[in-house]
Amino acid sequence: MLQPEPLPCRYALGLRLRQELRICSVALRRINQAKARQRKMKAMTGNRDWQKARRARTRLLIEYGGLVVKAGLAELLEDDRATLLGGFYSLCDQLKGLDGNPPETVKLRWRRRGLRAFDEDAGAGGAEKTGDRKGSEPG
């Protein structure tokens, strides 16, 4: 006749439970670490996108400021920002056609003048970036 297996004593049962608890605790800690890494990577990616957009905007603003200096407006107006802003508003009015000239004609005239200025700088050995030349007309 088969005898039933003896029940483990309390001490052995406690050891087994502690071992399993340790195993589960280690697994839980690893899962939490993996989740934390995921959250950190997601946050870093979001920051990178935001930082890239901010850097691009900053670069654009610096380039616009460089164009103001290159045109000589800063010196001519003796750094009077209110006058400079008023001039920019007048340019906007011209582009809206409020002065009677078609906006396309105004833009074309300004673009040609700007391209000539960039070409003169490039011909004079200027090491500066010559600006955006997309859509330039031949001749």
- pLDDT tens for each residue of 21-48: 999 999 999 999 999 999 988 877 767 7
- Nearest C-alpha neighbor of 95 from the set 85, 84, 86, 106: 106
What is the C-alpha separation between 39 and 32, in angstroms, rounded?
11
User: How much is the average pLDDT of 71-89?
Assistant: 91
What is the C-alpha separation between 128 and 138, in angstroms, rounded?
22
Check if the beta carbon of residue 89 is closer than 8 Å to that of residue 78.
Answer: no
The pTM for the full model equals 0.53
